[in-house]
Amino acid sequence: MTKYNTLLYYCYSAIEDAEQYAADHLKFCKSLGLFGRIIVADEGLNGTISGTADACKTYMDAVHSDARFATTEFKIDEVDEPSFVKMHVRYKSEIVHSGLRDPKIINPMEKTGKHLEPKDFLAMKDRDDVVVLDVRSNYEHSLGKFKNAITLDIENFRDFPAKINELAQFKDKKILTYCTGGIKCEKASALLLHEGFTDVYQLHGGIIKYGKEAGGEDFEGKCYVFDNRLAVDVNSVNPVVISTCFNCGKQTDKMINCANPECNEHFTQCDECGTALDGCCSNDCKSHPRKREYDGTGYYVKIPQPVNEKKGAKV
């Protein structure tokens, strides 16, 4: 039986003519039979891809052979089937959108928080002089987060800078930031340092690596991921479910997207409400004329747009 892998990775490294690189990279990924989503920017790469174990190894070897990306760390999951159905490579202004592109404020290639390996994060996180900070969006931390972590009311990471003032009360503490794979923490920790926080750390490899190397201890709930799995288990030490059904309040850790494409809300929903509402967040969405067919997963492939390989567009 064919074994598949899903790779999560990022690398901050300057790319000259990144738009052309994106177009070439798309062709390379397609030649390997890979599926996934990669963002290319002048500042680096950010990707989640999936394919056979052999294809994924060939891809990792190719990335590592490029001196710009030689230190890229891949988080590898074994999966029963590819975690995507299409291959996208897009050129964008940032590999994670912060809205702050002034290198004098944020430049992860020059200055970020101190990287903590999972075992060190585990050892530090419960100290009295420490604050654990989740820098992810609402729908992510509502599904799962570290016990006692500070969470922020943000819809997207670009909302993070506006929340810095809310964290001023913790300036005398050690700030331990975390996110899914580490990429958001590179910019979040850099911004905190710029704003006068003096003792800032980040969980190296994020929640995913922490689950693999520290058993996910004290991570409550599941981790949201940006592929058709939607959520993955992290904690094999003391797991609990913290999320509840958006509709009835029953405890559930099933994350879906609303079947109404004009809503497409990320939310948790139990199977009973999923059946009753046909994968929608409300009766209004259930009756929407463009409602997609609900297959029980709550994951939907985006409608294809015209192809423009010169721009690294999706195929």
Q: Which residues are catalytic?
A: 179
Task: Dig out the tokens for 26 from the structure.
Answer: 């798309």
Helix/strand/coil (H/E/C) assignment for every residue in the chain: CCCEEEEEEEEECCCCCHHHHHHHHHHHHHHCCCEEEEEEECCEEEEEEEEEHHHHHHHHHHHHHCHHHCCCCCEEEEECCCCCCCEEEEECCCCCCCCCCCCCCCCCCCCCCEEECHHHHHHHCCCCCEEEEECCCHHHHCCEEECCCECCCCCCHHHHHHHHHHHHHHCCCEEEEECCCCHHHHHHHHHHHHCCCCCEEEECCHHHHHHHHHCCCCEEECEECCCCCCEECCCCCCCCCCCECCCCCCECCCEEECCCCCCCCEEECCHHHHHHCCCCCCHHHHCCCCCCCCCCCCCCCCCCCCCCHHHCCCC
Please give the biggest Cα pair distance in the chain: 54
Closest CA to 115 of 145, 167, 171, 73: 73
Q: Which of 202, 240, 203, 200 has its CA nearest to residue 219?
A: 240
